[in-house]
Structure 1
Amino acid sequence: MTAHPPPPPPFRDPDLPFAKRVDDLLSRLTLDEKIGFLHQFAPAVERLGVAAFRTGQEALHGVAWMGPATVFPQAVGLGATWNEELVRRVGEAVSREARAMRARDERVGLNVWSPTVNLLRHPLWGRNEEGYSEDPRLTSAIATAYTRGLRGDHPVYWRTAPVLKHWLAHNNETDRDTTSSSVRPRVLHEYDLRAFRATVEAGATAGVMPAYNLVNGRPNHVSPYLAEQLRTWTEEDLLVCSDAGAPSNLVDSEHYFDTHEEAVAAALRAGVDSFTDHGTDSSKTTARLAGALARGLLTEADIDTAVRRQLSVRFRLGEFDPDADPHAGERAFDTPEHRALAREAAEQAIVLLENDGLLPLAPDTRIAVVGLLADECKLDWYSGTLIHRTTPLEGIRERFGAERVEFAEGVDRVLLKTSAGTFLRVPPAPAAAEPARGAEAALDPALLAGRTDLPPLTTGAEGTELALADWGEGLLTLRAPDGRYLSVAEDGRVRASADQPGGWIVQETFRLEPHGDGHLLRHVGTGCHVQVAADGVKVAEEDPEVFELVVVERGEEAVARAAARADVVVVVAGNDPHINGRETEDRTTLRLPAQQELLLRAARAANPGTVLALVSAYPYAVDPADLPAVLWTAHGGQAAGTALARVLAGDVSPAGRLPQTWYADDADLPDLLDYDVIGSRQTYLYFEGTPLYPFGHGRSYASFAYGDLTARVSGAAVLVRFTVTNTGEVTADEVPQLYVRAVDPSVPRPRRELVAHRRVSLAPGRTAELSFELPLSAFAFWDVTLGRWRVEPGPYELLAGASSEDVRLRATVTLDGEPAAARPLRERGLDTADYDEQSGTGIVDRDRTSGDAVTAVSGGDGELLFRRCDFGDGVREVSVEVSGEGSVELSLDGGPALASLSPRTPTAGPYDYVTLTAPVTAAVDGVHDVRLRLRGPLRVARVGFSG
Structure 2
Amino acid sequence: MTDHPLPFRDPQLSFSRRTDDLLGRLTLDERIAMLHQFAPAVERLGLGPFRTGQEALHGVAWMGPATVFPQAVGLGATWNDELVRRVGEAVGNEVRAKRAQDDRVGLNVWAPTVNLLRHPLWGRGEEGYSEDPALTSAIAVAYTRGLRGDHPHYWRTAPVLKHWLAHNNETERDTASSSVRPRVLHEYDLRAFRDAVRAGAVAGVMPAYNLVNGRPNHVSPLLEQHLRSWTDQPLVVCSDAGAPSNLVDSEHYFDTHEEATAAALKAGVDSFTDHGTDSTVMTGRIRDALAKGLLDESDIDTAVRRLLAMRFALGEFDPELDPYAQVDDLDTAEHRALALEAAEQAVVLLKNDGLLPLAPGQGRTVAVVGLLADDCKLDWYSGTLMHRSTPLDGIRERYGAENVLHTEGVDRIRLKTSDGWLRVPEADGTQDGEARGAEGALDPALLAGRTDLPPLTCGDEATELALIDWGDGVLTLRTDEGLYLSVADDGYVRASADEPGGWVVQETFRREEVEGHDGGHRLLHIGTGGYVSVAADGAKVAVSGEKISREDATVFESETVESGADAVARIAAAADTVIVVAGNDPHINGRETEDRTTLDLPAQQDRLWRAAHAANPRTVLVLSSAYPYAVVDAAAALPALLWTAHGGQAAGTALARVLAGDVSPAGRLPQTWYASDDDLPGLFDYDVIGSRQTYLYFRGTPLFPFGHGLGYADFTYSGLRAEADGDQLRVSFTVTNDGTTAADEVAQVYVRAAGPAEAPAPEGLGRRLPELGDPSDLPLRKLVGHRRLHLAPGAARSIEFTVPLEELGHWNVAHGRWAVEPGGYEILAGASSADIRLTTTTEVGGEALGPRPVKERGIEAADYDRQQGTELVDRAKTEGDAVAPASADDEGRLVYRACDFGDGVRALAFQVSGEGRVTVSAAGHNSLIQFPDTGGPYSYRTVEVAVDLRGVQELRIGLTGSVRLARIDVVPGKESA
TM-score in same-fold range (> 0.5): yes
CA distance in 2, matches of 1:593, 1:445: 26
Q: Where does residue 901 of structure 1 map in the other structure? A: 929
Q: Where does residue 521 of structure 1 map in the other structure? A: 523
CA distance in 1, matches of 2:689, 2:676: 20
CA distance in 2, matches of 1:596, 1:533: 34
Partner AA of 2:385 in structure 1: L
CA distance in 2, matches of 1:448, 1:777: 56
Q: Where does residue 717 of structure 1 map in the other structure? A: 728
CA distance in 2, matches of 1:297, 1:441: 59
SS at match of 1:60: coil
Q: Where does residue 143 of structure 2 map in the other structure? A: 146
Q: Where does residue 910 of structure 1 map in the other structure? A: 937
Match of 2:636 among 581, 605, 625: 625
Matched, 1:933 2:955: no
SS at match of 1:823: coil
CA distance in 2, matches of 1:535, 1:23: 65
Partner AA of 1:243 in structure 2: D
Matched, 1:575 2:594: no
CA distance in 2, matches of 1:504, 1:847: 36
CA distance in 1, matches of 2:777, 2:109: 39
Higher mean C-alpha deviation, range 409-418 or range 584-593:
409-418
Flag the 1:80–1:437 CA change in 2: closer, same or farther, 3 A.
farther
Residues 414 and 421 of structure 2 are in contact (CA less than 8 Å); yes or no, is this contact kept in structure 1? no
CA distance in 2, matches of 1:110, 1:289: 25
Flag the 1:931–1:158 CA change in 2: closer, same or farther, 3 A.
same
Match of 1:847 among 876, 879, 886: 876
Flag the 1:328–1:441 CA change in 2: closer, same or farther, 3 A.
farther
Matched, 1:536 2:538: yes
Partner AA of 1:918 in structure 2: V
CA distance in 1, matches of 2:2, 2:850: 71
Deviations 1:532-591 (A, max 9, x none): 112122223153221111111010000000000001110000000000011001001000
SS at match of 2:137: helix
SS at match of 1:833: coil
SS at match of 1:302: helix
In the TM superposition, residue 664 of structure 1 has moved relative to its aligned partner by 0.3
CA distance in 1, matches of 2:806, 2:960: 39
In the TM superposition, residue 456 of structure 1 has moved relative to its aligned partner by 2.3
SS at match of 2:86: helix
SS at match of 2:558: strand
SS at match of 2:606: helix
CA distance in 2, matches of 1:761, 1:603: 35
Residues 387 and 440 of structure 1 are in contact (CA less than 8 Å); yes or no, is this contact kept in structure 2? no
SS at match of 1:257: coil
Residues 436 and 443 of structure 2 are in contact (CA less than 8 Å); yes or no, is this contact kept in structure 1? no
SS at match of 1:902: strand
Flag the 1:446–1:184 CA change in 2: closer, same or farther, 3 A.
closer
SS at match of 1:148: helix
CA distance in 1, matches of 2:464, 2:441: 28
Flag the 1:747–1:10 CA change in 2: closer, same or farther, 3 A.
farther
In the TM superposition, residue 190 of structure 1 has moved relative to its aligned partner by 0.2
Flag the 1:348–1:123 CA change in 2: closer, same or farther, 3 A.
same
Residues 412 and 469 of structure 1 are in contact (CA less than 8 Å); yes or no, is this contact kept in structure 2? yes
Matched, 1:485 2:449: no
Matched, 1:821 2:847: no
1:398-547 to 2 correspondences below 5 Å: 398-428=397-427, 430-431=429-430, 433=432, 444=443, 447-515=446-514, 516-517=517-518, 518-540=520-542, 541-542=548-549, 543-547=552-556
Partner AA of 1:476 in structure 2: L
Residues 581 and 622 of structure 2 are in contact (CA less than 8 Å); yes or no, is this contact kept in structure 1? yes
Higher mean C-alpha deviation, range 656-665 or range 525-534:
525-534
Partner AA of 1:912 in structure 2: S
Q: Where does residue 316 of structure 1 map in the other structure? A: 313
Matched, 1:760 2:762: no
Q: Where does residue 222 of structure 1 map in the other structure? A: 219
CA distance in 2, matches of 1:198, 1:421: 64
Percent of aligned pairs with the same amino acid: 69
Matched, 1:199 2:199: no
Q: Where does residue 863 of structure 2 map in the other structure? A: 834
CA distance in 2, matches of 1:362, 1:77: 25
Flag the 1:451–1:5 CA change in 2: closer, same or farther, 3 A.
farther
SS at match of 1:647: helix
CA distance in 1, matches of 2:557, 2:460: 14
SS at match of 2:248: helix
Matched, 1:591 2:617: no
Partner AA of 1:928 in structure 2: Q
SS at match of 2:420: coil
Partner AA of 1:801 in structure 2: G
In the TM superposition, residue 429 of structure 1 has moved relative to its aligned partner by 7.0
1:299-448 to 2 correspondences below 5 Å: 299-364=296-361, 365-428=364-427, 430-431=429-430, 433=432, 444=443, 447-448=446-447
Residues 836 and 867 of structure 1 are in contact (CA less than 8 Å); yes or no, is this contact kept in structure 2? yes
CA distance in 2, matches of 1:875, 1:434: 87
Match of 1:606 among 603, 615, 618: 615
In the TM superposition, residue 785 of structure 1 has moved relative to its aligned partner by 1.4
Residues 265 and 297 of structure 1 are in contact (CA less than 8 Å); yes or no, is this contact kept in structure 2? yes
Deviations 1:612-670 (A, max 9, x none): 00000010000211100000000000000000000000000000000000000000000
Residues 441 and 447 of structure 1 are in contact (CA less than 8 Å); yes or no, is this contact kept in structure 2? no
Partner AA of 1:500 in structure 2: E
Residues 713 and 739 of structure 2 are in contact (CA less than 8 Å); yes or no, is this contact kept in structure 1? yes
Match of 2:573 among 561, 564, 574: 564
Residues 427 and 456 of structure 1 are in contact (CA less than 8 Å); yes or no, is this contact kept in structure 2? no
Q: Where does residue 83 of structure 2 map in the other structure? A: 86
Match of 1:770 among 785, 799, 802: 799
SS at match of 1:496: strand
1:672-711 to 2 correspondences below 5 Å: 672-711=683-722
Partner AA of 1:220 in structure 2: N
Residues 432 and 446 of structure 1 are in contact (CA less than 8 Å); yes or no, is this contact kept in structure 2? no
Match of 2:51 among 50, 54, 66: 54
In the TM superposition, residue 183 of structure 1 has moved relative to its aligned partner by 0.5
Higher mean C-alpha deviation, range 427-436 or range 343-352:
427-436
CA distance in 1, matches of 2:113, 2:304: 25
Q: Where does residue 762 of structure 2 map in the other structure? A: none
CA distance in 2, matches of 1:453, 1:152: 47
In the TM superposition, residue 440 of structure 1 has moved relative to its aligned partner by 5.8
Deviations 1:3-52 (A, max 9, x none): x9995311111111001111011001111111111011111111111111
Partner AA of 2:693 in structure 1: Q
Flag the 1:647–1:439 CA change in 2: closer, same or farther, 3 A.
farther
User: Which ranges in structure 2 are unaligned for 5 or more consecutive residues?
Assistant: 543-547, 757-774
Higher mean C-alpha deviation, range 511-520 or range 811-820:
511-520
In the TM superposition, residue 433 of structure 1 has moved relative to its aligned partner by 4.6
In the TM superposition, residue 906 of structure 1 has moved relative to its aligned partner by 0.3
SS at match of 2:108: coil
In the TM superposition, residue 749 of structure 1 has moved relative to its aligned partner by 0.9
CA distance in 2, matches of 1:808, 1:656: 19
Matched, 1:554 2:553: no
In the TM superposition, residue 492 of structure 1 has moved relative to its aligned partner by 1.1
RMSD: 1.5
Partner AA of 2:777 in structure 1: P
Flag the 1:282–1:7 CA change in 2: closer, same or farther, 3 A.
same
1:650-669 to 2 correspondences below 5 Å: 650-669=661-680
CA distance in 2, matches of 1:435, 1:834: 65
Q: Which runs of 4+ in 1 moved over 3 A?
A: 4-7, 428-448, 744-747
Partner AA of 2:813 in structure 1: V
Match of 2:34 among 19, 34, 37: 37
In the TM superposition, residue 934 of structure 1 has moved relative to its aligned partner by 0.8
CA distance in 1, matches of 2:415, 2:344: 41
SS at match of 1:93: helix
Flag the 1:172–1:434 CA change in 2: closer, same or farther, 3 A.
farther
In the TM superposition, residue 453 of structure 1 has moved relative to its aligned partner by 2.3
Partner AA of 1:869 in structure 2: C
Partner AA of 1:678 in structure 2: I
CA distance in 1, matches of 2:57, 2:629: 23
SS at match of 2:92: helix
CA distance in 2, matches of 1:483, 1:671: 39
SS at match of 2:591: coil
